[in-house]
Amino acid sequence: MAKANRVYYTKAPVTKNQEIEGEVVDITYQGMGVVKIENFPIFVSDAIPGEVVKVGITKVQKNFAFGRVVTRLKESPNRVKEVDQVAITTGIAPLANLKYEAQLAFKQQQVEQLFKKVNLDVTVNPTIGMENPTEYRNKAQVPVQEVNGRLETGFYRRGSHHLVPVEHFYIQDPKVDEAVTITRDILRELNISAYNEETKRGVVRHIMARRGFYSHELMVVIVTNTKRLPEAETIAEKLRAKLPELKSFIHNINNHDTNVIMGQWNETIWGADEIHDQLMNKDFVIGPNSFYQVNPQTTAKLYTLAAEKAELSSTDLVVDAYSGIGTITLSVADQVQKVYGVEVVEEAVEDAEKNARHNQIKNVEFIKADAPEQMMKWAAEGLKPNVVFVDPPRKGLTSELIQAVSAMNPETFVYISCNPATLARDAVEIIAEGFEIDGPVQPLDQFPQTTHVETVTVFKKQA
């Protein structure tokens, strides 16, 4: 029975294998089209807003269902006609079927809607996009499996551990794809086995390749379940012959039953222990386990924008929370008096300190600590920064961190977010602590062809 204009169901209005017709009214965060029957959402792969489709129901849950397109009765003018279906079905590039201008508009609307949900009236600028929104990722971590008796590399089908063999990943640097494919072919040639999760036997779990966008230095890492990589020297020799940009070939051991891809133990089989790349006129040292932005082209835009919006001056004291390998810290250091970076991952702090020395930057200090705890400690000690930058993980900020920033009383609080849902949630609490949003929120497309969007939001302390 309906109550307050909302419909409550004792059971779903559709059944498995049923075929229904409907209009696609939205896109989910996973890039699925949304069709509604009696307000009941059906998530449909490869369906975009404005289309009318006949849907075959594949799975029914209590509050939603999944379906596939049987027939496209009306096509959207925003549809990309020639698109690699594997990119969509595996989730590599779930928005590849949507024209790029429409992707940028969708991301702007996504940010607007999430702020509206928390009753904040903000202006959201058009999303800043890329000139070439494909082939931008500088790193691949590709699973390895035996498929029909042959070692394959590829991508897991959405929601499973079923490997779909893929050679060209659409959003990755073609040289990275080439490195993975060549490594796979060498492993096949030498009859080196893939690790089997069920039997716990076999050798190779993943192939990782990363390439400097500006330096063109290439690293290949083979991740094994075994302590020894068979034929390691032969693999190195064959890789060097086929990959002229190769600077580093590393064996990584991960013999834990975990979803974490890389283990902590590395052995350099050939070449250097790390490669280099440039970002915002700084040279960064990147090891096999280093976190480094996968799209340095837009990262440079993102951090330049954040620094501009912070209106930095040479006398400023700055705090960079979640500082990682120091990309923000080091990129703004030459504009201010001093920058403190705080990061909980020990290896990232080591990388940040190494990068500071490497670039001869002396007005920075990195602390290995949990960001909320360290910020509370600094607030208690009376540290008074002019500007605080935060670039947190997807889960956003904690109340403790927001309260600590408030206690520090900075003039400017710059929030770089990779998740607009947690940004909007946190904005409510930040405003309650006496800040106001200064100017429009700026989305930026760090990951084209996917539903992810980065934003820069500036908060100013109210007088």
DSSP labels for 349-409?
A: HHHHHHHHHHTT--SEEEEES-HHHHHHHHHHHT---SEEEE---TT---HHHHHHHHHH-
* Residue 24 tokens, joined: 């696609």
pLDDT of residue 44: 95
In Å, the largest CA–CA distance within the chain is 71
Domains 139-279 and 295-461 share a fold: no
Q: Which residue has the tokens 């790390």?
A: 274
Could you tell me how far CA 386 lies from the centroid of its own chain?
A: 29
Q: Which of the following is catalytic: 105, 122, 261, 418?
A: 418
Q: Which amino acid, 164?
A: V
Q: Which residue has the tokens 């036997």?
A: 201
According to DSSP, the β-strands at 52-60 and 65-74 are antiparallel
Say if residues 412 and 388 touch (Cβ distance below 8 Å). yes
pLDDT of residue 8: 57
Which CATH number does the domain 295-461 belong to among 3.40.50.150, 3.30.380.10, 3.40.190.10, 2.30.40.10?
Answer: 3.40.50.150
Distance CA 45, CA 88 (A): 8
Q: What count of other Cβ atoms lies within 10 Å of the Cβ of residue 276?
A: 15
Domain residue spans of the chain: 1-79, 139-279, 295-461
In what side-by-side order are the strands of the sheet with 163-165? 163-165, 150-156, 139-147, 204-211, 218-224, 246-253, 265-271
Q: What is the DSSP letter of 86?
A: H
pLDDT of residue 111: 97
CATH of domain 139-279: 2.40.50.1070
Q: What is the DSSP letter of 79?
A: B
Active site residue 418: yes
Question: Could you tell me which residues are beta bridge partners of residue 317?
Answer: 338
Say if residues 128 and 442 touch (Cβ distance below 8 Å). yes
**Residues in the chain with pLDDT values less than 70:** 1-9
State pLDDT tens for residues 90-123.
788 999 999 999 999 999 999 999 999 999 999 9
Mean pLDDT in the chain? Answer: 93
Could you tell me how far CA 268 lies from the centroid of its own chain?
A: 27
Say if residues 175 and 218 touch (Cβ distance below 8 Å). yes
* Those residues with Cβ within 8 angstroms of residue 295's Cβ, 6 or more apart along the chain or in another chain: 136, 137, 138, 446, 447
* Residue 130 tokens, joined: 């890329």
Class of domain 1-79: mainly beta
pLDDT of residue 9: 59
* Residue 377 tokens, joined: 């400690």
pLDDT of residue 257: 85
Say if residues 348 and 287 touch (Cβ distance below 8 Å). no
